[in-house]
Structure 1
Amino acid sequence: MSADGSWRTLLPSARDYAPLRASWRSDLVAGLTVGVVALPLALAFGVSSGAGAASGLVTAVVAGVVAAVFGGSHVQVSGPTGAMVVVLAPIIAQHGTAALGIVCLLAGVFVVLAGVLRLGRTVGLIPWPVIEGFTLGIAVVILLQQVPAALGVPAAGHDTNTAVAAWQVLHELDRSRAAWSLGVVAVVAAVMVLAPRVHRALPGSIVAIALVTAVATVVDLPLATIGALPSGLPAPSLPALDLGMVTQLVVPALTVAALAAIESLLSARVAASHSDTGPYDGDRELVGQGLATLAAGVFGGMPATGAIARTAVNVRSGARTRVAAITHAVLLLLVVVAAGSVVSRIPLAALAGVLIVTAVRMVSVATARTVVGSTRAAAVLFALTAVITVSVDLIYAVGIGLAVAAVLSLRTMARAAGVHREELPGPAEPGDEHIALFRIEGSLFFAAAERVLDRVATIQDADVVILRLSQVQVLDATGAQTLHELVAGLERRGVTVLVKGIRHQHLPLARHVGVVEALRDESHLFDDLTPAVRRARDLVHEARGVSPASSAPVSALSGAGAGRDVDDAPPVD
């Protein structure tokens, strides 16, 4: 592909809207449905992050449109998410809301660069237990973040760790005020759970918020509310770029960018697997999400990601093109313009109730049981990632989870690598007791090579050793060097080594590190086992003066060629 063609795939095109003529009705319905679902979440995530309800709404509107137009998924819905709140809350608590614009700009640039560098498929490297573990951890953190609002205690002034902050809040609550707040949370949760049972299409969160807001306003309950909202989108402006602040925020912005990339790609992948609108373009999705975060920052919003729950609602509602996500953003903009005064009266406890239910719904008990019950390694990864997400940081959790997963995978591969002593094929002949046949299989790499060396190098009373290598699937530099040490050590002891079946793709590496050179003769490379065994018997007969049982000719490997992938005689373990 040409450079121009490569760049063109990262940009919007008319093909994005090809199905629109047939799907515009379903796209509009889906967009309106998602907009109703997204409104309370945008408000709640904005408040929970510390950026404010207006920031959450602005992000849903601006980032929702930009990501829909420039992203790599036809049905992805983007905006503020719970996972992003988990990362943003401590940043805002430490550096203040003034840092939000800088974080958006830096993170947006990082995500765009990731797309330009074609890193869109890297999400496939994250193991399933790690994904489920940080999903559980995020749900727990979101729930803990709602403790102050649910108890009627101001969130400011507490530890940045949500678990510690929740514990501190318990010692500061006013019982009478907490009773009203908890009552609102309970009502919201009950309505959200029961509304779908009345009618599947009934938006429980909107009904619940409307109900408690009306009652709180009429009765004048002592509850903190969202407060005044702007009557429209703020004017775009770049944040003040103080060099000291930028330096302090580079690492937090990298964390935000990593999360935005991971969550957006996961959401796009899930959407592609549940809809028939075609595959997603991971690289373009990163570019779109990066631009969305940049745009949100310019308008006073917060970093955005693909939202798995809202995207799922979009798909289930019949969305076919990007118009659905754009429609959802337009609906939210109309709410900002036409109903800002009503929205400002929503109790914070009501939003806490929405997020508590959302957090609970994020956790699939059946999935958790499946992960824990699959393998011990998966259970360890799942639990470790969840605990670190809650106690330390989400990105640390993913990083440590990946590292532990790599170690466990290497351990499994090393265990799968084996070396087995076998009987010689066919009828036994005099002198066979002085021939040792070893089958090496699996992955011969740095984590397993030493065990193979110890097993073969200590062989006694053998004049000839035959190494069957056709079942070695992976050979790295350490494994090849171990083979060289093994062959050279045996040859120094006077033991002749014959190599059978080394694979074609492994032969250049074996030659480079000296495996072939260490053999007594290059003709001691064989394609098939039968001629290797004949050659071994001839060598023993010559060394021991034993009369051969037959005088069949030996057929060595003609040319230093490739070994066969399948042994010509069945292995005997």
Structure 2
Amino acid sequence: MKEFIQEWKELFSKKWLADDLFAGIIVACVAIPLSLAIALASNVPPEAGIISAIVAGIVCALFGSSKLAVSGPAAAMAVLIATAVQKFGLSSLYIIGIGCGILQLATGIFRLGFLIRLIPMPVIAGFTAGIGAIILISQFPRILGLPPIADSHLTDVILYINHSANQIKWPAFWLAALTITITFALPRLLPRFPASLVAIITAALIPWLFNIPIETIGNIPKPFESLILPSFSIDAATIELLADILLVYMLASLETLLSSSAIDKMTRTKPYHPDRELIGQGLGNIASALFGGIPVTSVIARSALNVQAGAKTRRAAIFHAMFLLIAVYFLASQISLIPIAALAGILISVALRMCHPREFLEFWHTSHSEAFIYLVTFIVIISADLLAGVQIGIAAALIIALLRLAYVKTTVHQESDRPTALCIDGPLTFLSVTRLDSMIAELTPVDLEHGVIFDLSRVPLADTSGATHLIQIIEQLEAKSIRIALQGVKLSCRKILLSIKSHTDIARLIATDEAELLEILHLDKHLILNRLSYGVETFKKHHRHAYKFLFKKLAREQNPHTFFITCSDSRINPNLITSTAPGELFVLRNVGNIIPTCHTSSTYGESAAIEFALGLLNVKEIVICAHSGCGAIKELITGTIFNPENQLRFPGIANWLKTLYAIRDEFPAQVTPEQAAKLNALFQMEQLKTYPLVQEKLNAKAVRIRIWYYDIGKAELEEWDEQENMFIVIGSEEFRALERRMQSGSQYQSPVIPD
């Protein structure tokens, strides 16, 4: 409630008052014809549409989350309302409005707004297009000056028009055609003018000026003067209304959240809160029902116009409602002259936008299966009814999702005198059982004689049935004395596999690296080359496509943000531990992550890499990353590499590590390998600063240096904090404080080495 009160204070501020007033007038000009047209399509009196726009404009603006959203009657709801009115009468709108409002309130209060978004987008789009098609068909009689018919199926409407051809009023048709033309053409010619209002005024003036007899909406009773709550009782008909209430609730809530999300993108302000927005809409629907209105929602067209007109606060929506009220009381006689055919033309304009084929084509280009869901929903809605369309659309979406989940691709990688690698790509569930069987059935005894490797690196999840079946296959193969190994097993899959009772020791078959794989299969080291060729083939089949556009970009140039200096140790993968893509890191690796002192005559590759990274690539960060279990540090501590025998045998290593003599003397008496590795990294930072280009960049604050330590066993990275004089685990609260200091401009100074 405090949040509401704080925001309501803005309503009494003079700031942006003129902007909100102007926006309110502009939106009201559009809302008048649209509210009347939607009331017409909903088979309710014209004043019901105006009442809904006024009440929702105020209540939803006061209690909703999106400040610039405008709520009111929506074309997408018209068919639902018209169907309910046809089946249960006008009094049913009271129950539907209250029921929808209560459901929205409950959804918002219990923070279940996210559930609304679980309905697939193709179903929503197909549903909206279906409603647009129904509106389009149902308004054909009206634009010809004929009374509407109860059934809005295309064949029924065509037969009705054919039988009533002698009653067609062509002036009504031409007025409707003029309205549609102005509605579509004016935004292209004069985008700042409210097209629907201009169309309605033009269509009303022509019959009045030329004395053309035409059916108009007639006198509109002044709203709120005779408020009588309808009486109702709980009976069988009320129970039947539950389906309509749920449908209206779902559509109103969905349109609200989609509209609010779109307004967020337009304004780039504080994001709306879906649960609070639904609370505002719930209160708006309850209030609308109590005053005799129809169900409402946040409307994207009016909300977008509100933003474009310069609205700054929720006052604009309230002003729009006040202008509507003033118009109904002081312009009632002029409003009564609006032709029914013109309102039908407005509805057809809206309907054509709702069922535009562009949306279907977008789904088709993106995913044929989603286009199928859209089409199924659309066809069922226009041929059967709305509820069946939604149900079948969701069912189709679930079936397709199930088929996608069931889809498992298997690839067999074979080489002569090598084990056969079976790559499983997809979820290992009960739905993948038959695919596994067919994969094994295709293998010949020759394929199996050197053993089988099950590559599960592309299995994202597994269930008990799928894992059990895989174990049964393994047991059958082992019974034939075929050696088996599993590689790339993710933690979740590993837990399921090990939890299943088996005659085979599954844990013994799971390899974490190439060495274990060779050991399990009792193979020689020469298989490593096969591992590389298999890896290349796997990359080409499964990974290359995912990086297609990145590789095209990288083919033109490299633009790394970080110069990453680390050890040559095979256990360190910079891109893996930093979750970076190719092209983000410029990497320098050597034994012991050593940076030689700068000399102008230096021919070290490290000097060239430093100059290339800072001088040509203009990296913004430098990371010096030490690690646990470093072989270079171990040799430095023990000193065995420097004995005469090893200096003769490994002169390269001995000479290279001599550059670390300076820090060896600084080691405490009982220095640990971890301390020595960290000390080395800090020392290398000082070595790095001997390069003039590095000093130049540091002085210009164009680069920062970070010292990291990677604990291989824990797979955890630590960063040196100069102020705290210690290494801090990246991701911890202490590390976040360090990040804030670094972002404020603090740079590393000469480190104080801890004992």
C-alpha contact (below 8 Å) 1:421/1:436 kept by paired residues: yes
Q: Is the counterpart of residue 384 in structure 1 residue 371 in structure 2? A: no
2:293 alignment partner in structure 1: 301
Mapping of 1:212-251 within 5 angstroms? 212-217=203-208, 219-234=210-225, 236-244=227-235, 245-251=237-243
C-alpha contact (below 8 Å) 1:450/1:482 kept by paired residues: no
1:163 alignment partner in structure 2: 154
Q: CA offset at residue 336 of structure 1? A: 1.8
Mapping of 1:168-247 within 5 angstroms? 168-173=159-164, 175=166, 177-196=168-187, 199-217=190-208, 219-234=210-225, 236-244=227-235, 245-247=237-239
1:527 pairs with one of 497, 503, 512: 512
1:73 alignment partner in structure 2: 66
Name the SS of the counterpart of 1:230 in structure 2. Answer: coil
Distance 1:421 1:93, change over 3 A: same
Pick which of 334-343 and 79-88 moved more.
334-343
Distance 1:567 1:310, change over 3 A: farther
C-alpha contact (below 8 Å) 2:413/2:534 kept by paired residues: no
1:253 pairs with one of 213, 237, 245: 245
Distance 1:162 1:320, change over 3 A: farther
Name the SS of the counterpart of 1:440 in structure 2. Answer: strand
Distance 1:135 1:203 in 2: 24
1:450 alignment partner in structure 2: 434
Distance 1:484 1:295, change over 3 A: farther
Mapping of 1:492-511 within 5 angstroms? 492-511=479-498
Mapping of 1:256-295 within 5 angstroms? 256-295=248-287
List runs of 5+ in structure 2 lacking aligned partners. Answer: 542-755
Pick which of 326-335 and 382-391 moved more.
382-391
Q: Is the counterpart of residue 407 in structure 1 residue 399 in structure 2? A: yes
- For residues 213-247 of structure 1, the C-alpha deviation after alignment (integer angstroms, 9 at most, x for no partner) is 23434555432221322223255554323111321
Distance 1:102 1:534, change over 3 A: same
Distance 2:525 2:363 in 1: 59
2:21 pairs with one of 13, 23, 28: 28
- For residues 145-183 of structure 1, the C-alpha deviation after alignment (integer angstroms, 9 at most, x for no partner) is 212221222225x32x44355234313435455212112
2:424 alignment partner in structure 1: 440
Matching residue's letter, 2:171: W
Q: CA offset at residue 311 of structure 1? A: 1.4
C-alpha contact (below 8 Å) 2:306/2:316 kept by paired residues: yes
Q: Is the counterpart of residue 475 in structure 1 residue 462 in structure 2? A: yes
Distance 1:81 1:551 in 2: 71
C-alpha contact (below 8 Å) 2:130/2:355 kept by paired residues: no
Distance 1:184 1:135, change over 3 A: same
Distance 1:551 1:204 in 2: 77
Name the SS of the counterpart of 1:12 in structure 2. Answer: helix
1:543 alignment partner in structure 2: none
Pick which of 83-92 and 374-383 moved more.
374-383
1:137 alignment partner in structure 2: 130
Name the SS of the counterpart of 1:474 in structure 2. Answer: coil
- The runs of at least 4 consecutive aligned structure 1 residues that moved more than 6 Å come to none
- For residues 84-141 of structure 1, the C-alpha deviation after alignment (integer angstroms, 9 at most, x for no partner) is 0021111111111121111111122122222233332345444444443333322222
C-alpha contact (below 8 Å) 1:29/1:317 kept by paired residues: yes
2:39 alignment partner in structure 1: 46
Distance 1:12 1:481 in 2: 56
- For residues 508-529 of structure 1, the C-alpha deviation after alignment (integer angstroms, 9 at most, x for no partner) is 2333344xx4423632222123
Matching residue's letter, 2:59: V
Pick which of 200-209 and 67-76 moved more.
200-209
C-alpha contact (below 8 Å) 2:360/2:371 kept by paired residues: no
- For residues 47-94 of structure 1, the C-alpha deviation after alignment (integer angstroms, 9 at most, x for no partner) is 111111111111111122111222221221111111100211111111
Pick which of 395-404 and 341-350 moved more.
395-404
TM-score, with length taken from structure 1: 0.83
1:334 alignment partner in structure 2: 326
RMSD of the alignment, in Å? 3.1
Distance 1:351 1:550, change over 3 A: closer
Distance 2:402 2:259 in 1: 29
Q: Is the counterpart of residue 82 in structure 1 residue 75 in structure 2? A: yes
Matching residue's letter, 2:198: V
Q: Is the counterpart of residue 109 in structure 1 residue 102 in structure 2? A: yes
Name the SS of the counterpart of 1:420 in structure 2. Answer: strand
C-alpha contact (below 8 Å) 2:136/2:347 kept by paired residues: yes
Q: CA offset at residue 206 of structure 1? A: 1.9
Distance 2:156 2:279 in 1: 36
Distance 1:527 1:535 in 2: 11
Distance 1:73 1:394 in 2: 29
Distance 2:495 2:88 in 1: 56
1:561 alignment partner in structure 2: none
Q: Is the counterpart of residue 484 in structure 1 residue 471 in structure 2? A: yes
Matching residue's letter, 1:528: D
Distance 2:500 2:16 in 1: 62
What is the identity percentage for the equivalent residue pairs of Structure 1 and Structure 2?
Answer: 31
Pick which of 298-307 and 193-202 moved more.
193-202
Q: CA offset at residue 305 of structure 1? A: 1.2
- For residues 398-439 of structure 1, the C-alpha deviation after alignment (integer angstroms, 9 at most, x for no partner) is 443333233334434544x32223347xxx8xxx56x54322
Distance 1:332 1:205 in 2: 15
TM-score, with length taken from structure 2: 0.64
Distance 2:257 2:111 in 1: 13
Distance 1:423 1:196 in 2: 64
Matching residue's letter, 1:474: L
Q: CA offset at residue 185 of structure 1? A: 0.8
